[in-house]
A and B are shown apart, each in its own frame.
Chain A
Amino acid sequence: MTESLATAATADKTDPVPAPVTPAPDREPATAASQSGRWRRAAVFLVHRPGLVLSAFFLLTVLIAAFFPTALTSDNPLRGSVAERLQKPSTDHWFGTDQLGRDLFARMVHGCARSLQATVLAVLVGLAAGALLGLTSGFLSGWIDSLIMRVVDLALAIPALLLSLALITALGFGTVNIALAVGFSSVAAFARVTRAEVLRVRTAVFVEAATSCGARRHQVLFRYVLPHACGPVLVLAALEFGTAVLAVSALSFLGFGAAPPSPEWGSLVSDGRGYLATAWWLTTLPGLTVVATVLAANRISRAIEGEREESR
């Protein structure tokens, strides 16, 4: 960026005749050059981090599985042939088959949709509610701040899994309810971080300047405070993604998720429990997929965090 500005400045100097109407053609090649430089830098950055590329690639596959399951498998996840029951992983059935002869890979792929949607919903609920509470609390201060923070402290007094279990008891079972329960139990953490960031940004000189220029409260909040406060909150959201995958699959494993025939990651592991001694793939492979997803998500969120710290 600075590079292109510098070239533009020198171009202006060599040309004494002021021509402000057509500066764009002069700048075009410079921007294009810096653009390709940026691509090259990005490529070098990624080549030095094979783990990151692998993580991104894996998460992309999982996302494709979640939204276009038929692109990855043509097998029906609910129908199986009993003749093919409990087969080991092979080229026909990558993850083997279960006790009803259903293809485990197809069930995993179709299970992605529910599990991933639940995870994303959980993170969104936590992020939206937590950020809203944190913003209000940090920006208004005074008694509203103390009230909100006391409530947040209360929510933190109970371990997250127990709180989600209580929420599930009240809400009932199902994938969406699991997502809501996991999401609500992470609200407190988001509220904490958002508030801390808002408090940090609020006292910055540019916010003071905006206020002194007569900006209204909501303008200051959304145009100045929010953009500068959201970084660490988004990093937390990325980290929370891995945690949410674990929480959602644990609750689904306990049997509080979707009703039996439809597959979910946690319930697939739970279904395979009865065949631990005879069919290892029924529990091992779905579990490995969950592990890989969490690792990939954590790797990416750490990369985001690292980049933010470097650019600071």
Chain B
Amino acid sequence: MKRYLIRRLLQALFVLWAAYTVCFTVLYLLPSDPVSLMVSGGAEQTSIDDAQLTALRAQYGLDKPIIVQYVDHLWHALRGDFGVSVQTGRSITQIFLDVLPATLQLAASAFTLALFLGLGLAYWATYARRLWVRQMLLSLPPLWASLPTFWVGLMLIQIVSFRWGLVPATGDDGVSSLLLPAVTLALPTAAGIAQVFAKSLRTVETEHYITTAAAKGASPTRVRLRHAARNAAIPALTLAGVWAGNLLAGSVVVETVFSRTGVGRTTATAVGTQDIPVVLGLVILSSVLFTAVNLAVDLTYPLLDPRIVSPAADPR
């Protein structure tokens, strides 16, 4: 177990370093001149002359060779310092910590919702008695996956908030305002979970232990819940961990649609003003969250399947 844990931890650190390197390359190497990009703040024209540009370049350390900049940034990032925003001058770590709770709340509710919705739908779709119900339910996940997130959000606002007046359309106070964004964010993930779970439920059906359980006189419900669903859930849960990253990415759109504060909205604003340090910081911090969730999923594997830690083929 200890070796497994250390190996996973090292892998997670490698992924983080990798994400950092990719983002740094994209953001600092790709633009011809990061400074003029940043000071223009997304606008075409700048009112800054060359002398000021040079001074700014020195201030942000952009006059050094790129490899020195990279090592510098990495060293600071390792100590939790991602620099300051070009637009507001605030510390990026502080910006991130300010908006993180709202996004975590949204993502966690969306994830829970997606899990229930996806697993429930797939279970129902597989075991519904009537053929047309099964077919209708099975056609839902591909449909959900084809809906643009921003449009789903706007449709929900239009119908649930404006026509029915049930919950507030925008803002972030209380559970009622969390409902629509969470549903919007959950739909694509729920679609994925439902597709995977329905598929593995069908695969599991032909396994011998299902026949055995039924032969031993277990009721159909017991066979389905205790034997089929339990085994079929493993792949769906694994992928659900991977999709946690998509929830963070999706929050960019959802928080913009519902005018909520959060990591996503801050990212969208930073991209809009081409605030390179903020974008780098937010993408990296999102990868940290993503990696942490996946590490947690990896660490629950041994609980589900002990063979993962001590493979039978291991000679020791």
Contacts and interface: CB of A to CB of B under 8 A. Distances in A.
To the question of whether A and B form a pair in one complex, the answer is: yes
Interface string B288-302: 001100000000000
Given A159-B286, A165-B271, A256-B271, A154 B21 contact: yes
B61 to A, nearest CB: 18
A140 B16 CA distance: 28
Contact of A159 (B148, B149, B245): B245
A211 to B, nearest CB: 34
A290 B271 contact: no
Given A158-B19, A158-B23, A298-B142, A291 B249 contact: no
Interface stretch (A72-80, A226-234, A276-284): A276-284
B77 interface: no
Given A158-B287, A295-B146, A255 B162 contact: no
Interface in A38-63: none
A253 interface: yes
B147 A254 contact: no
Interface in B152-167: 154-155, 157-158, 162
B249 A253 contact: no
Contact of A166 (B26, B157, B158, B245): B26
A158 B150 contact: no
Contact of A157 (B18, B26, B30, B146): B18
Nearest to A290: B148
Contacts of B16: 157
A269 B154 CA distance: 9
Given A157-B18, A168-B271, A294-B146, A253 B283 contact: no
Given A154-B21, A157-B22, A291 B154 contact: no
A166 B280 contact: yes
**Contact-size category for A:** 35 or more
Interface in B253-292: 253, 256-257, 267-268, 270-272, 274-276, 279-280, 283, 286-287, 290-291
5 closest pairs, A vs B, by CB? A287-B151, A161-B249, A154-B18, A159-B249, A170-B30
Interface of B: 15-16, 18-19, 21-23, 26-27, 30-31, 37, 42, 142-143, 146-151, 154-155, 157-158, 162, 169, 245-246, 248-250, 252-253, 256-257, 267-268, 270-272, 274-276, 279-280, 283, 286-287, 290-291
Given A161-B249, A163-B26, A172-B37, 9 more contacts: A153-B18, A161-B250, A166-B23, A166-B283, A172-B274, A250-B253, A256-B271, A287-B148, A294-B148
